Amino acid sequence: MNEYDSARLAAVLELHGLIPAIIEKADVILVNTCSVRAKAEENAIARIKGLKRFKIENEKLKIGILGCMAKNRGESLFKDLPFIDFILAPDEYQKLPEILHPTPYFPLPAFQEFAKLTNNHSAFIAIQSGCNMRCSYCIVPYVRGREQYRESGSVLQEIEEAVAKGVSEFTLLGQTVNGYRFKGLSFAGLLRQVADTKGVERIRFMSPHPKHYTGELMEILLSEPKIAPHVHLPVQSGSNSVLKKMRRQYTRENYLSIVEALRFSNPLYGITTDIICGYPGETEEEFEETLSLLQEAQFDSAFMFAYSPREGTPAASEKEFLNEEQKKARLQKTIDLQNSITLKRAKLMIGQSEKILLEKPSRKNPSEWVGKTGNFKKVVIDIGAIPHCSPGMYIDCVIEGVKGHTLRGKLSA
Ligand code: 5AD
Ligand code: SF4
């Protein structure tokens, strides 16, 4: 979501005459921040402190803090970071051009520089903002507000415009994206319209909530070939008692039934997830249930976190029985198990024919390119025989092996 916001802000600023620059030469530095875990905020603050030196070198430099931390910490940020110029929360971005404008020192856009920085084959499209869920540990509803759904006509228009610029892969975004509804149109209905849009080749969405897996949605997911066979479906815990305390509104069994349906249709269906280890009061048995869920679900990969108390959330006022070390130990156990499953899932791909969307040349070897399979696995391919590769091209390849967690592919004959 933040990447999307950053891209949109960049587009707006370009309309106002700003151009992307390397950090040493920038007249404006905007830091888009995240508040989801304490670590995210700590990293952002450390990063912002590191920007102070650019102010010494460039007097006209303006530094602004954007994103969820701007909302969460507000004016208090000026105390820790007195050299910053302004703070703008996500619901205030429309003020940004006004803050920076008029700015006589902005030169006209240099198209060449801009082209190098843009990645044109794949686009994020936000269809929902905010979140109406109240997961007990989560700060997002407080910093992003109530759910708002974007008008479907405007979604489709943005997609059509992007197609005209050569984009073929679209990722629909929202905190609980499959809860989308607009004037009687469901998320499944919107997916149908996107799939029917000329030039759209691959559709992804992020992040759905298990609660909103309707029969109608399942049907389109399993029948529409343009919808990529991958889903990032956060589960958080494998224990029903913890899920209940987290107010997740589904059970382990509900969750696993979705996994089963997707994998029944396609055993290689990519399923990735988020896990929180060491939720307040999580017992050893409850933690073991998360490990057993990982075994059962066989996730292709997972983002795993130690629980981080966020002030103002209900979970933050619950007593924590685990110290940081114990939470870290559970996290490490989870990571170790998932790493072995991730590798196993990657190896299942060997011998498969796959359509790869090329992203960029590999850094180490320019005759190799990096791309993604439909089920969202990274593949490195030797493109030796193709004279002109470009981001956004689809090529057919056969998966030959696995190196680390990355697949190696060979062009199909
Ligand atoms: N502590 C740890 N992880 C969290 N997440 C959200 N809030 C917290 C928290 N307080 C994780 C969840 C979510 C992901 C974006 O971040 O797993 O899905
Ligand atoms: Fe946070 Fe839950 Fe909303 Fe996800 S669904 S953003 S975890 S409150």
**CATH (domain of 199):** 3.30.750.210
Which ligand 2 atom minimizes the distance to the CA of 138? 1
Residues 85, 183: one domain? no
- What does the alpha-carbon distance between residue 170 and residue 29 come to, in Å, rounded to a whole number? 28
- What does the alpha-carbon distance between residue 277 and residue 289 come to, in Å, rounded to a whole number? 11
The amino acid at residue 410 is K
In a domain, 272, yes or no: no
> Given 49, 71, 100, which residue is the final one in a domain?
100
CA of residue 66 to ligand 1 center, whole Å: 20
Q: What is the pLDDT of residue 262?
A: 97
Alpha carbon separation from 122 to 202, 203, 357, 382 (Å, rounded): 9, 10, 9, 22
Alpha carbon separation from 306 to 96, 275, 290, 331 (Å, rounded): 35, 8, 13, 6
b/e for 274-310, b at 16 or more Cβ within 10 A?
Answer: ebbbbbbebeeebbebbbebbeebebbbbebbbbbbb
- Cβ of 272 closer than 6 Å to ligand 1, yes or no, is no
Parallel, antiparallel, or unpaired for β 270-277 and 202-206? unpaired
Query: How many C-alpha atoms does 259 have within 13 Å on its Cβ side?
Result: 21
* Residue 388: Cβ within 10 Å count: 6
- What does the alpha-carbon distance between residue 21 and residue 18 come to, in Å, rounded to a whole number? 9
Residues 8, 92: one domain? yes
Residues 71, 132: one domain? no
Contacts (Cβ under 8 Å, ≥6 apart) of 223: none
Which ligand 2 atom minimizes the distance to the CA of 236? 7
Q: What is the pLDDT of residue 298?
A: 98
In a domain, 141, yes or no: yes
- Cβ of 138 closer than 6 Å to ligand 2, yes or no, is yes
* Residue 346: Cβ within 10 Å count: 21
In a domain, 384, yes or no: yes
Nearest CA to ligand 1 atom 2: 307
Tokens of 308: 């981080």
Mutate to test the pocket of ligand 1, among 42, 131, 134, 137 (most ligand atoms within 8 A of CB): 137
- Cβ of 206 closer than 6 Å to ligand 2, yes or no, is no
CA of residue 138 to ligand 2 center, whole Å: 6
pLDDT tens over the chain, length 413 residues: 888 888 888 887 887 788 889 999 999 999 999 999 999 999 999 999 999 999 999 999 999 999 999 999 999 999 999 999 999 998 888 888 778 865 444 443 433 333 333 457 888 899 999 999 999 999 999 999 999 999 999 999 999 998 998 899 999 999 999 999 999 999 999 999 999 999 999 999 999 999 999 999 999 999 999 999 999 999 999 999 999 999 999 999 999 999 999 999 999 999 999 999 999 999 999 999 999 999 999 999 999 999 999 999 999 999 988 999 999 999 999 999 999 999 999 999 999 999 999 998 888 887 899 999 999 999 999 887 677 888 899 999 999 999 988 999 999 87
In a domain, 192, yes or no: yes
In a domain, 406, yes or no: yes
- Cβ of 133 closer than 6 Å to ligand 2, yes or no, is yes
Mutate to test the pocket of ligand 2, among 134, 175, 180, 246 (most ligand atoms within 8 A of CB): 175
Ligand located closest to 276 CA: 1
Read off the CATH number of the domain in which 48 is found.
3.40.50.12160
Ligand located closest to 274 CA: 1
- Cβ of 276 closer than 6 Å to ligand 1, yes or no, is yes
Residues 56, 149: one domain? no
* Residue 319: Cβ within 10 Å count: 6
- What does the alpha-carbon distance between residue 277 and residue 285 come to, in Å, rounded to a whole number? 12
Phi, psi of 24 (to 5 degrees): -65, -25
Residues 40, 129: one domain? no
CB 14 within 8 A of CB 117: no
In a domain, 181, yes or no: yes
β strands within 249-317, DSSP E: 270-277, 301-306
Residues 78, 149: one domain? no
Phi, psi of 399 (to 5 degrees): -80, 125
Residues 131, 211: one domain? yes
> Given 211, 228, 245, which residue is the final one in a domain?
228
In a domain, 285, yes or no: no
The amino acid at residue 186 is S
Ligand located closest to 137 CA: 1
Ligand located closest to 232 CA: 1
In a domain, 163, yes or no: yes
The 3-state DSSP composition of the chain as helix, strand, coil percent (nearest 5) reads 40, 20, 35
- What does the alpha-carbon distance between residue 327 and residue 324 come to, in Å, rounded to a whole number? 5
Residues 93, 121: one domain? no
Residues 128, 217: one domain? yes
Domain containing 368 equals 353-411
Residues 223, 139: one domain? yes
Please count the structural domains in the chain.
3
- Cβ of 213 closer than 6 Å to ligand 1, yes or no, is no
Residues 195, 222: one domain? yes
> Given 180, 206, 228, which residue is the final one in a domain?
228
Ligand located closest to 146 CA: 2
Residues 121, 223: one domain? yes
Q: What is the pLDDT of residue 102?
A: 52
Nearest CA to ligand 1 atom 12: 274
- Cβ of 248 closer than 6 Å to ligand 1, yes or no, is no
Nearest CA to ligand 1 atom 9: 308
The amino acid at residue 260 is E
